[in-house]
Structure 1
Amino acid sequence: MLFISSIVFGKKKGAISGAIGMTIFDVLSGWVAWAPFTFVVRWIMGYIVGYYVTEGILYGNWISPVTSIPGNAIQIAAGGIVSLPLAYSLKRTKAF
């Protein structure tokens, strides 16, 4: 379902729905300790597969997009490293 969501709805919606859905599954099935890791891993998987399929269609083959996976993963990691602490700090202010 994660890959289908990412392909049909795009990388962002696929990443979010996969991350939230599988995290809820972990929590409800007793795997609470795994839930944060599941969220991150499934988000990355959903995001990357969205890019991969799009590039496969645009490039007309399924081999060329493989070379962009490491760059996409670095982009996701860097975004998380910057945005998560910043978002946490902003949430603690009175403005939010």
Structure 2
Amino acid sequence: MSNTQKLVIAALLTALVTVATMAFQVPIPATKGYINLGDTVIFIAALLLGPKYGALAGGVGSALADLLSPYAAWAPFTLVIKGIEGFIVGYILYKAFSGESNLKSRVAAMALGGLWMVVGYFAAEVLLYGTPAAIVELPGNLVQASGSALIALPVVAVMSRINVFKSVN
């Protein structure tokens, strides 16, 4: 698959990250934040397209969701945090596991990417609201990361069975 084709798929997945982030939200009243499904699409994009395009879909798609919602002040943090999350997932799979996409490599990649997201938002929340608020938000971010991985796993497994990964990489 050419770089142009990968870029087109990345653009579509970027839009899907935005939609998944905005369409399904579980509010966290204590912090006025929310749990969403955007990370599911970030994980799929990074596992499918690798670190560069995973970062693009994650960072831009999630930041765009913030800009289109009442969370615009979070967009710069989100761009960096979610972009690095997508990069980590793709990098772990394609560098540490040499592109071998199996259950072990996918879980490891998503666990490390999700952990980064949790740590990144914790740091941003400490900076903006202080440690107590960041601690309150921590369980929601953990649920979001783990839930997104659990949803992404079967999707990626099906995509692997129909050879989507072989045609893209």
* Secondary structure at the counterpart of residue 82 of structure 2: helix
**1:42 and 2:112 equivalent?**
yes
Q: Secondary structure at the match of 1:66?
A: helix
Q: In structure 2, what is the equivalent of residue 66 of structure 1?
A: 135
Number of equivalenced pairs: 84
| CA RMSD of superposed structures (Å) | 3.6
The whole-number CA distance in structure 2 between the counterparts of 1:44 and 1:20 is 12
Q: TM-score, normalised to structure 1's length?
A: 0.59
The equivalent residue for 1:20 is: 90
Aligned to 1:57: 127
Structure 1 runs (4+) deviating above 3 angstroms are: 61-64, 77-89
> TM-score by structure 2 length?
0.38
Higher strand share: 2
Q: Which runs of 5+ in 2 are unaligned?
A: 1-76, 163-169
Quote the residue 1:3 is aligned against. Answer: none
AA aligned to 1:67 is V
Cα distance in 2, alignment partners of residues 13 and 38 from structure 1: 18
How much does 1:45 deviate?
1.1
Distance 1:16 1:56, change over 3 A: same
| Secondary structure class of the residue paired with 1:48 | helix
Q: Please state how far the C-alpha of 1:87 moved relative to its aligned partner.
A: 8.1
Alpha-carbon offset, residue 77 of structure 1: 3.2
